[in-house]
Amino acid sequence: MLSRNQIKKARTVIQSLVHGLDPETGEDLPKEDTANRIEVNRSMSIALTALEQVEARMVRRSQLPEGVGKTWTEEEEQQLKAEFAGSEPIPLIATKHSRTVRAIEARLERIGLLRPDQRTTNDSFFADSVKSKQAKGTEQGAADDASD
């Protein structure tokens, strides 16, 4: 995996080339240099955007709790049940488990201790897939109506 410093360095080099500058000296590249060709320059701009997106994702991930994405153990789930039954606030439970509030609510919903309408967060993947299915159903209904 690339480090954030490697990405920053690559981004700096590509930015220089996109601007027609030698990355080491800062001087203008010769007009006939490969980096000054329009398709090469466009491709470097796309690569630059991709690097910026990777870097932004790395920053966001570094701000997430340590337990994000880890499998729930039986012991951790039992602890979650006890904490929730003891009326501990979900944000506090999330901190104790090094997980997000969204993850805690999703697990509580999965084990039947929280209803979807009680969540303070939403499961955007589920919501998006439901919306998508509903839209397809609506489109199919419209197609059926048109064929009548």
Q: Which tens digit of pLDDT belongs to each residue from 104-144?
A: 999 999 999 998 888 988 764 444 444 444 445 544 444 44
Mean pLDDT computed over every residue of the chain: 85
Residue 135 covered by a domain: no
Residue 21 three-state SS: strand
48 touches 56 (CB < 8 A): no
- Overall average pLDDT of the 41-67 stretch: 92
d(CA 25, CA 3): 25
Residues 16 and 40 reside in one and the same domain:
yes
Determine the average pLDDT of the residues in 55-59.
90
Quote the number of domains for the chain.
2
Asked if residue 30 is part of any domain, the answer here is yes
Q: Which residue has the tokens 């340590």?
A: 66
Mean pLDDT, residues 55-79: 90
Give the integer Cα–Cα distance in Å for 12 and 44.
12
Is 141 among the domain residues? no
pLDDT (average), residues 27-45: 96
Per-residue pLDDT tens for 73-114? 999 999 999 999 999 999 999 999 999 999 999 999 999 999
Place of tokens 């397809």: 136
Is residue 144 one of the residues assigned to a domain? no
Q: What is the largest CA-CA distance in the chain?
A: 72
Domain interval for residue 97: 74-124
CB atoms within 10 A of CB 39: 7
26 contacts: CB under 8 Å, gap ≥ 6: 16
Q: Is pTM beyond 0.85 here?
A: no
Residue ranges of alpha helices (H) inside 3-37 are 4-18
Residues 13 and 55 in one domain: yes
